[in-house]
Amino acid sequence: MTLYFTTKRCRMITSNVKKIMDEKKITIRGLVALSGLSDKTILRARSEHIVECRLYTLQIIARYLECNVKDLFIEGQ
């Protein structure tokens, strides 16, 4: 299942992945090595606004950042 987030259809989704990675001092390379996800996927998840992301991908990122999936993003107004 793929979720699509656009400003026209629903609220903006803002990513916290970069912030959490910085707080935990985890590099992109480190998360790639731990999670098995591609660097491109991690970079997309770290970008300020999430445009498209699979729930499974968010689950993997959350597992290796030791947080909940809901901590990875903020839903805007």
CATH number of the CATH domain containing 62: 1.10.260.40
Distance CA 74, CA 18 (A): 13
**Is position 37 within any domain?**
yes
pTM (two decimals): 0.79
Domain region containing 31: 7-75
Confidence (pLDDT) at 1:
45
Assigned domain for 1 exists: no
Query: Do 2 and 52 form a contact (C-beta atoms < 8 A)?
Result: yes
Q: Is the residue at 2 inside a domain?
A: no
Taking Cα atoms as reference points, which of 5, 1, 77 lies closest to residue 44?
Answer: 5
Residues 39-68 have pLDDT tens digits of 999 999 998 877 778 899 999 999 999 999
Residue 50 lies in a domain: yes
Task: Quickly count: other Cβ atoms within 10 Å of residue 31's Cβ.
Answer: 23
Query: Domain total for the chain?
Result: 1
Return phi, psi of residue 73, to 5°: -150, 165
